[in-house]
Amino acid sequence: MTKTSKPGLGNFSPRDFLRARRPEAFSDSWSEQESHLDRSLLEYHLDTITNRSQEVSFEEFARALAEKEVCPNLVPQTGPTGGGDSKADTETYPVADSLSLHWFVGVGRESAAERWAFAASAKKAWGQKVRADVASIAGTGRGYTKIFFISSRYIRSKDRAAAEDELSEKYGIEGTHI
């Protein structure tokens, strides 16, 4: 790296100047992005999703979150939302064991071999919704071994555990997660 010196400019490197203006154009540069989201603002946003008719956006967010936290092999729902769908908002698809061993997120081997269903809801009455969703998913007879329910609402741990126990016992699907 050479530096040129001109009267009145001091030491100047065109490369350093360009790197400072466009770091993405240099392969050895990296930039760090930090986002700050106040917890109360996020809670308010999640609580008012239905007021803004953003239920579909929440389902897409829930699927993306599940892909990062639970398993990456999820099929997005296509077709109508609301009535007439396949009962699950998303579900796992089979993946070769050699591929699942290389996943850096989620639970690889189990989700690659088992059939899991996911339901997402922004409804305020989450208890009624989870019971209806689990009943319809279990009624498909597709052999789901786990059902995950993702809600935009705050759910007390005690209520969540009671609903999980009730639904797991009632439908025989081990590990109904809310």
What are the start-end ranges of the H helices in the chain? 14-21, 39-47, 55-69, 97-100, 108-113, 126-138, 157-171
Q: Does any domain span residue 38?
A: no
State yes or no: pLDDT of 127 exceeds 50. Answer: yes
Does 81 fall in a domain? yes
Q: Using an 8 Å Cβ cutoff, are 120 and 89 in contact?
A: yes
Continuous H helices in 8-90: 14-21, 39-47, 55-69
Q: Which residues constitute the domain of residue 78?
A: 55-177
Domain assignment present for residue 14? The answer is no
What confidence score (pLDDT) does residue 84 get?
Answer: 43
Residue 10 φ then ψ, to 5°: 70, -160
Q: Which two tokens stand for residue 172?
A: 């025989």
Residue 6 in domain: no
Asked whether residue 10 is domain-assigned, the answer is no
In angstroms, the first-to-last Cα distance of the chain is 57
Is 22 inside a domain boundary? Answer: no
Q: State residue 42's pLDDT score.
A: 87
Mean pLDDT of the chain: 80
Bigger pLDDT: 113 vs 60: 60
Number of domain units in the chain: 1
146 pLDDT more than 70: yes
pTM over 0.75: no
pLDDT of 158 over the 90 cut: yes
Give 37-73 pLDDT, tens digit per residue.
Answer: 888 998 898 899 989 999 888 988 999 988 888 888 8
**Is residue 142 situated within a structural domain?**
yes
Could you tell me if residue 77 is inside a domain?
yes
Distance CA 142, CA 68 (A): 24
The pLDDT assigned to 21 comes to: 77
Q: With contact defined as beta carbons under 8 Å apart, do 87 and 136 qualify?
A: yes
What are 5-38's pLDDT values in tens digits?
Answer: 455 556 768 888 777 777 777 777 666 677 788 8
